[in-house]
A and B are shown apart, each in its own frame.
Chain A
């Protein structure tokens, strides 16, 4: 009897240990949901702040009347400045988490910048052979853990309090595929979802969901459809695709929205990949639990220009009783869908410099008057390979009902070259051509920050930049729009009028995502400063001085004096 009592006590204690090790669940909520919904104005708990991808902070302590009194609260330097600082930081309950080049992860006191822990993974040397490195765009948080996809194809879960590795999984065969993870994961209920790089590689790119608790694979979605009508010959084997940036989620519909990358090779010399090449350059609506495809819309059928749909945010927007999804395609065109079924509601252009089509039918999405570069002669194409916008995100303010978004008015000359896909011993780059940036006909290339209606495209105000901006945008409940430019200046604009209210020179250009948060009743604005990116390599052909723009990487945090 004593023995049984001891056994019972041991069993009870074992169960208690296991139960205490599991984070508590709020009633009726999936694990981690309370930290991931847009319910605490003080936090910025995920890449786009909220599942609707608004990148909007409701905080209003810093506003259009007092923004002139902003001053530096603290600066943190990650000590790795190759390719700048491309990430968007996260803040949960007074702690900032961010990731820098070479996957250096930091947890800082968000009020003072004091380091709480850091994690520098030992990366496989294969990383040095990759095209997409050493940058990373962001982290995800849930279930008391910090998640990221690594440059060598692993997914890490770190203990949120200590930075110790909770689990790590080798998801990609990076030594073979030359592919990796550079985008921030999205935590949805009990899963961590992320997509791989592969648009420029002769492989098949996928989107993965791992169990947040264990790292076990829950599902994967192959962005290359096994369909000979969609991929002629053996082209599907080398089809590229993937989904390298962070998508959105509608909890009511239980659908994850994810944009997919371009097909490989980027340029088709004629017969490289016959067919429409599904599901590349498309928006997917996937069941969050099973990964099953609910609907898709291919924005660029048989993409001939590297205008992929992999750019990050899809705005989950309700208007006039309609459940909408607003997605920016790299071509510079914005697609508006009924997010319940994928039916197209509108298409409108962010840029006025385009010739790859004459237009896109806003009712059907048909690309009217395609101009496709082919083997034989260089072709003048607008926009350039960097797109009408790059992967940086815009911001939607539900108060002003305006979408603040950047655009690039730049063209290119494309030379298509026939290329044999290389898969052994490792996948080689598969572009099928090369390009050089060109000014648009009759004028200089430039970029702009616009305030627009996201559904109709109606423009309220616009600000031009000599060098097309490639940093993400923040809008706030204080009526501000925050944005950093390529020359290293952070700007605060009046959200209603575009009036420039405040500027600060960080000393290096901007590619990451500014955020706002609050600790102990005090609002802060964090701005990652650090010029880097493959896209930046295209700039000197038009602006040779960009070759000498200084490198850097630092997290600047501002607050009121």
Chain B
């Protein structure tokens, strides 16, 4: 019984500590398991919502409207690993020569990032026009 109480106390303390770290770093707390998409990536509603989020991030400056040619990599007609796309949106990319991609981890919840992933994946079948 005593051991159980100790374990419970430790678990609560660790839980608060983890939450504290997450809050301190300004990260969104995931309400879903972020290791996999919470919905099918071909879900039309997710793709539509992801498209709205994509354009609201002013991609005209970066990936171009609907992923067309831009200074950042064009996205239409490309085949990407969805987990790579998720990680790139979450963490951004500072290694480029022409311009960094901001990390969106503090601005977008994991569900929202997965919706943008769904949208980007939907562009793979779109002509590179």
Which chain B residues lie closer than 8 Å to A200 at the CB level? Answer: 58
Q: Do B65 and A541 have beta carbons less than 8 Å apart?
A: yes
Name the interface residues of B56-70: CB closer than 8 Å to any CB of A: 56-62, 64-65, 68-70
Counting chain B CB atoms within 10 Å of each CB, which of A126, A536, A537, A538 scores highest? A537
Q: For A135, give the chain B residue with the smallest CB separation.
A: B99
Which chain B residues lie closer than 8 Å to A429 at the CB level? Answer: 56-58, 107
Name the interface residues of B28-46: CB closer than 8 Å to any CB of A: 28
Interface string of A421-432 (1 = CB under 8 A from B): 010011111011
Which chain A residues lie closer than 8 Å to B55 at the CB level? Answer: 415, 417, 433-434
Tell me if A301 is interfacial: C-beta within 8 Å of chain B: no
Q: Do B70 and A129 have beta carbons less than 8 Å apart?
A: no
Q: Do A419 and B56 have beta carbons less than 8 Å apart?
A: yes
B58 → chain A closest CB, angstroms:
5
Known: A428-B107, A541-B68. A130 touches B102 (CB 8 A): yes
Q: Do A128 and B97 have beta carbons less than 8 Å apart?
A: no
Question: How many angstroms between the C-alpha atoms of A417 and B52 in the bound complex?
Answer: 8
Instruction: Report the count of interface residues on B (CB-CB < 8 A).
Output: 36
Q: Do A128 and B100 have beta carbons less than 8 Å apart?
A: yes
* Candidates A82, A428, A546; contact of B94 at CB < 8 Å: A82
Which chain B residues lie closer than 8 Å to A434 at the CB level? Answer: 55-56, 58-60, 65
Which chain A residues lie closer than 8 Å to B59 at the CB level? Answer: 434
Question: How many angstroms between the C-alpha atoms of A128 and B56 in the bound complex?
Answer: 19
Which chain A residues lie closer than 8 Å to B106 at the CB level? Answer: 126, 129, 175, 178, 425-426
Q: For B56, give the chain A residue with the smallest CB separation.
A: A419
* Candidates A83, A126, A538; contact of B60 at CB < 8 Å: A538
* Candidates A433, A537, A551; contact of B61 at CB < 8 Å: A537
Q: Do B65 and A436 have beta carbons less than 8 Å apart?
A: yes
Tell me if A351 is interfacial: C-beta within 8 Å of chain B: no
Which chain A residues lie closer than 8 Å to B99 at the CB level? Answer: 82-83, 532, 534, 536-537
- What DSSP secondary structure best describes chain B's contact surface? loop
Question: How many angstroms between the C-alpha atoms of A434 and B23 in the bound complex?
Answer: 31
A: contact size bracket: 35 or more
Which chain B residues lie closer than 8 Å to A415 at the CB level? Answer: 55, 65
Tell me if A393 is interfacial: C-beta within 8 Å of chain B: no
Q: Do B72 and A129 have beta carbons less than 8 Å apart?
A: no
Which chain A residues lie closer than 8 Å to B52 at the CB level? Answer: 417
Tell me if A540 is interfacial: C-beta within 8 Å of chain B: yes
Q: Do B56 and A417 have beta carbons less than 8 Å apart?
A: yes
A59 → chain B closest CB, angstroms:
35
A153 → chain B closest CB, angstroms:
14
Name the interface residues of A512-561: CB closer than 8 Å to any CB of B: 532, 534-541, 544, 546-547, 551
Q: Do B69 and A131 have beta carbons less than 8 Å apart?
A: no
* Candidates B23, B60, B64, B92; contact of A128 at CB < 8 Å: B92
Tell me if A449 is interfacial: C-beta within 8 Å of chain B: no
B69 → chain A closest CB, angstroms:
5
Q: Do B26 and A539 have beta carbons less than 8 Å apart?
A: no
Q: Do A126 and B97 have beta carbons less than 8 Å apart?
A: no
Counting chain A CB atoms within 10 Å of each CB, which of B55, B59, B104 scores highest? B55
Q: Do A385 and B60 have beta carbons less than 8 Å apart?
A: yes
Question: How many angstroms between the C-alpha atoms of A541 and B23 in the bound complex?
Answer: 40
Interface string of B89-119 (1 = CB under 8 A from A): 0011010111110111111100000000000
Q: Do B102 and A129 have beta carbons less than 8 Å apart?
A: yes
Q: Do B100 and A175 have beta carbons less than 8 Å apart?
A: no
Tell me if A475 is interfacial: C-beta within 8 Å of chain B: no
Question: How many angstroms between the C-alpha atoms of A422 and B28 in the bound complex?
Answer: 13
Question: How many angstroms between the C-alpha atoms of A419 and B74 in the bound complex?
Answer: 25
Q: Do A540 and B64 have beta carbons less than 8 Å apart?
A: yes
Question: How many angstroms between the C-alpha atoms of A427 and B107 in the bound complex?
Answer: 7
Known: A83-B99, A134-B100. A426 touches B107 (CB 8 A): yes
Question: How many angstroms between the C-alpha atoms of A126 and B64 in the bound complex?
Answer: 25
Tell me if B71 is interfacial: C-beta within 8 Å of chain A: yes
Q: Do A129 and B56 have beta carbons less than 8 Å apart?
A: no
A238 → chain B closest CB, angstroms:
14
Tell me if A81 is interfacial: C-beta within 8 Å of chain B: yes
Q: Do B65 and A532 have beta carbons less than 8 Å apart?
A: no
Which chain A residues lie closer than 8 Å to B27 at the CB level? Answer: 425
Tell me if A133 is interfacial: C-beta within 8 Å of chain B: yes
A182 → chain B closest CB, angstroms:
13
Tell me if A359 is interfacial: C-beta within 8 Å of chain B: no
Which chain B residues lie closer than 8 Å to A431 at the CB level? Answer: 56-58
Which chain B residues lie closer than 8 Å to A541 at the CB level? Answer: 60, 64-65, 68-70
Q: Do A544 and B107 have beta carbons less than 8 Å apart?
A: no
Question: How many angstroms between the C-alpha atoms of A354 and B71 in the bound complex?
Answer: 25
Q: Do B61 and A534 have beta carbons less than 8 Å apart?
A: yes
Which chain B residues lie closer than 8 Å to A83 at the CB level? Answer: 98-100
Which chain B residues lie closer than 8 Å to A537 at the CB level? Answer: 60-62, 70-72, 99
Q: Do B97 and A551 have beta carbons less than 8 Å apart?
A: yes
Question: How many angstroms between the C-alpha atoms of A417 and B56 in the bound complex?
Answer: 7
**Residues of B at under 8 Å CB distance from A?**
23, 26-28, 52, 55-62, 64-65, 68-72, 74, 91-92, 94, 96-100, 102-108
| Apart from A129-B106, A417-B56, A428-B107: 6 A-B pairs, beta carbons within 8 A | A128-B91, A429-B56, A434-B60, A434-B65, A532-B99, A538-B70
For this complex, 18 residue pairs linking A to B, each with C-beta atoms less than 8 Å apart, are A83-B100, A129-B107, A131-B58, A175-B26, A178-B107, A415-B55, A417-B52, A425-B23, A425-B26, A425-B27, A425-B106, A434-B55, A434-B59, A532-B99, A537-B99, A540-B70, A540-B71, A547-B74
**Residues of A at under 8 Å CB distance from B?**
81-83, 126, 128-131, 133-134, 175, 178, 200, 385, 415, 417, 419, 422, 425-429, 431-437, 532, 534-541, 544, 546-547, 551
